[in-house]
Structure 1
């Protein structure tokens, strides 16, 4: 289906790929992963429109390959008054009308030959998208996505998550040979995410999907392409097995790297001794010995273990609070109501203590973001913020909290940093090196912008963090770093999230929106609810045990205890079998 061979590509300010190669075969469902800003979306753009890009290397795509595409940025057009059926069936309806029109024209025209040719072309296009079975296939897909009652609903009435699923269905039903999707899971609620999983797994053609969603990664793909440090690695198999192979490689390579380093250090001592001796004894043989030893050192340095896929860039997120509140109430919401065309929320009551970490969950379009914004604005009679509390807000709309015309550097002068060196040193911990901090924020990837928001929040030392989908666009390594930061934070957090891994790993309890109000739910009940809809029994507990063993392996590697790391990796392998 696709063959990429030794492809290299650069922006003026950044090298993206260095001689990367991979293949995608007919019927494979491939997850495309890598750290934020590594160039995943750009590579998809090159595949879809290679003529626009000046790249080196070879790119082969089957000549008859039809590509379907779902963008991460496509927005619902609230002004377009068409139904779900009319939106999904746009191409089908157009061809059907064209065929009918040609048939009508043939009844009175004398130019039958040209009309027959047009008729055949339209009929071929109709067959190509499965026109005979289009309506029944559409109904099957809508049922699979739990949207069977939405066929006659105006598109403008859909939630953002529902519209994303409708886009996926529309592209799938045209029968593409290759389906390309760029983070189709962003902002989907739990039920819609499950529907997306069903749609992906039901698709018979090839797929190339950028995703950082751990649920989809673990349940949908049989091939992994990993882009990291300008290089690419492909793996035939499940994501969970790929992660395990990465960890095993890390254990082996770090052991070899330490042996290499020790040998290089020993050789350095010999070179120093030979240099000292050659200053006292000037015989030619001394110089030859020194030169020979230097060449050995150069060979040792050249062969030193390089492991781009185990040396993964992970931000060091660190939320800090002045922590002057002690144990008190940070936020109180009493008899809160909000309505637009319809009532969204009514009679909402809850409070947050100064160290509570709480997830706000509910279906798309139920008012979660509206409530979070109202709390941040703090000008509503039903919302009371402790006067000592300093708040920070992470927005889904990244341009709301970041000035996209600023450079990364300029943005942090506005936060209170005084010098370039101070900003550069701070941002290095978040994965922003010198080539990035002088870029315009608007040129960054979605994941980089979210990490930038997290860096700004951390620098502000707030006591109450209001986080609206903070894991969206983040790669899995950054998601794990965020979870660690939340666990270590001493302030209060109210977080909108559809990522049940982050909720289970970090939150004290859940506030769930149901029937236009909010009720408190314990983590135990939340787990049971998630199991019922998404997982086999004990899945998340096994996931947490897996994470705990992985953490122990990382600590063993820090202590260079490779024997313990190998024993733990065997324990990890047994847990993976349960998943």
Structure 2
């Protein structure tokens, strides 16, 4: 908080490289994204960048699909013109082909966050009361906490926060049976299975591939399920066949989280799960936790992550626990009032964070106006009329071409060739049919363009 306030009041320019999205939301006024060898500038803070990025991607995707439809339509028109097998129609087709070749093709935007919308659901449902902590105390050289009480219900996503050294990780280890408490009671509810994760103890075999690591841990899982789960954690295609030893620490963390969420555990205990993860990986983890139907208790200093995932916050302060029923924004809003009620004063760090905001802005109220039922009805009628007209024109073209072909056969007959009257009559009729056919070609091309608009 001190650094944030210092930078907010700093008059010079600052360039920041950081994965702390909450910090970026408070401080930055511009985001430079480097992606696929290109730098793109977005005005505003991180939240504004994320919103603009998504709008930009959706816009580019619409442009790509519109262009693909146009290319396909033009190719169909070119093919049709060539099928007429007339000199003028072939020239028109060649002209369109040249124009098509000059189009600057839009590349399909890559969705870097492989969005699988996967729901991670425990095999066993726990009872409604998942954890009860009563009178918990622990000291080492000094007292960490004393006589703390709290409960966690099924489905809650609870963040345990507090300053360094207050004993947050110690509480997780006591719950998980790794460290003994000095006093107090830890009681798990019925059918509760704990899954524990920290960055130091990931228990991965460095010689296995990502796919084998999951498959060997859960031999009854089908290959499709394994691939889907790995994809939810951003491992796709041949990535699943990389060896554990060849991936980064952050990627190993994601594999461990994937294994954990596939386990029979219905109560996940996570110690700093976003450590060493880049922003994209954090967003993947946020999505996984939000879709997880079990219960989660975690320690984290990542305020943005807490804001996105926590339904409740436990603040370990002055050797006791303060309870906030909400996310990090709610915690900031209620922090001063809660501390005054419990301690009779506010803590020093409260003065630094009380003015924090995530920088999130409400979405624009200008929703796209939808066509009225009458307008849609008119448009649909106009479209049907155009399609029918195009079909009739194609039928007329086919009939005219057949008529001209029949006249050509008549002209080749000896009895006609020797009869100047019949010869002139058929030739004149043929010229009329040719002229009418050219008009039909032009009409068909115009209707095709209208259909494309």
TM-score (norm 1): 0.51
The offset of 1:504, in angstroms, is 3.7
Is residue 359 from structure 1 mapped to residue 159 from structure 2 by the alignment? Answer: yes
The offset of 1:214, in angstroms, is 1.8
The offset of 1:464, in angstroms, is 0.8
> Corresponding residue for 2:261?
458
The offset of 1:237, in angstroms, is 6.2
The offset of 1:492, in angstroms, is 1.4
The offset of 1:263, in angstroms, is 0.8
From the CA coordinates, give the structure whose radius of gyration is larger.
2
Is residue 329 from structure 1 mapped to residue 129 from structure 2 by the alignment? Answer: yes
Task: Work out the CA distance in 1 between the residues paired with 2:241 and 2:87.
Answer: 52
Task: Work out the CA distance in 1 between the residues paired with 2:74 and 2:331.
Answer: 61
The offset of 1:505, in angstroms, is 3.9
- Secondary structure at the counterpart of residue 39 of structure 2: strand
Task: Work out the CA distance in 1 between the residues paired with 2:354 and 2:101.
Answer: 53
Task: Work out the CA distance in 1 between the residues paired with 2:94 and 2:193.
Answer: 63
> Corresponding residue for 2:353?
534
The offset of 1:496, in angstroms, is 1.1
Task: Work out the CA distance in 2 between the residues paired with 1:428 and 1:287.
Answer: 49
- Secondary structure at the counterpart of residue 210 of structure 1: coil
* Kept in 1: contact 2:332–2:354 (CA 8 A): no
The offset of 1:331, in angstroms, is 1.6
- Secondary structure at the counterpart of residue 470 of structure 1: coil
The offset of 1:494, in angstroms, is 0.8
User: For residues 396-545 of structure 1, what are the structure 2 equivalents within 5 Å?
Assistant: 396-397=199-200, 399-417=201-219, 422-460=225-263, 462-523=265-326, 524=330, 526-529=332-335, 532-534=351-353, 536=355, 539-540=357-358, 543=360
The Cα offsets for residues 413-443 of structure 1, whole Å up to 9 and x where unpaired, read as: 2331556665334322322123432333344
> Corresponding residue for 2:76?
269
Task: Work out the CA distance in 2 between the residues paired with 1:370 and 1:379.
Answer: 7
* Kept in 2: contact 1:402–1:453 (CA 8 A): yes
Aligned length: 349
- Larger strand proportion of the pair: 1
* Kept in 2: contact 1:226–1:232 (CA 8 A): yes
* Kept in 1: contact 2:20–2:304 (CA 8 A): no
Gaps of 5+ in 2: 337-349, 371-453
* Kept in 2: contact 1:390–1:463 (CA 8 A): yes
User: Structure 1 residue aligned with 2:192, among 389, 395, 399?
Assistant: 389
> Corresponding residue for 1:249?
56
- Secondary structure at the counterpart of residue 414 of structure 1: helix
TM-score (norm 2): 0.63
Task: Work out the CA distance in 1 between the residues paired with 2:137 and 2:96.
Answer: 78
- Secondary structure at the counterpart of residue 135 of structure 2: strand
Task: Work out the CA distance in 1 between the residues paired with 2:48 and 2:309.
Answer: 25
- Secondary structure at the counterpart of residue 335 of structure 1: strand
Change in 2 beyond 3 A, CA 1:229/1:383: farther
> Corresponding residue for 2:341?
none
Change in 2 beyond 3 A, CA 1:363/1:273: same
Task: Work out the CA distance in 2 between the residues paired with 1:315 and 1:196.
Answer: 35
Change in 2 beyond 3 A, CA 1:460/1:258: same
CA RMSD of aligned residues (A): 4.0
* Kept in 1: contact 2:290–2:309 (CA 8 A): yes
User: For residues 77-476 of structure 1, what are the structure 2 equivalents within 5 Å?
Assistant: 194-198=1-5, 209-221=16-28, 223-234=30-41, 238-270=45-77, 273=80, 277=83, 300=103, 303-307=105-109, 311-314=111-114, 316=116, 318-322=119-123, 324-326=125-127, 328-377=128-177, 382-397=185-200, 399-417=201-219, 422-460=225-263, 462-476=265-279
The offset of 1:322, in angstroms, is 3.2
- Secondary structure at the counterpart of residue 226 of structure 2: helix
* Kept in 1: contact 2:227–2:236 (CA 8 A): yes
* Kept in 2: contact 1:314–1:477 (CA 8 A): no
The offset of 1:495, in angstroms, is 1.6
Change in 2 beyond 3 A, CA 1:393/1:287: farther
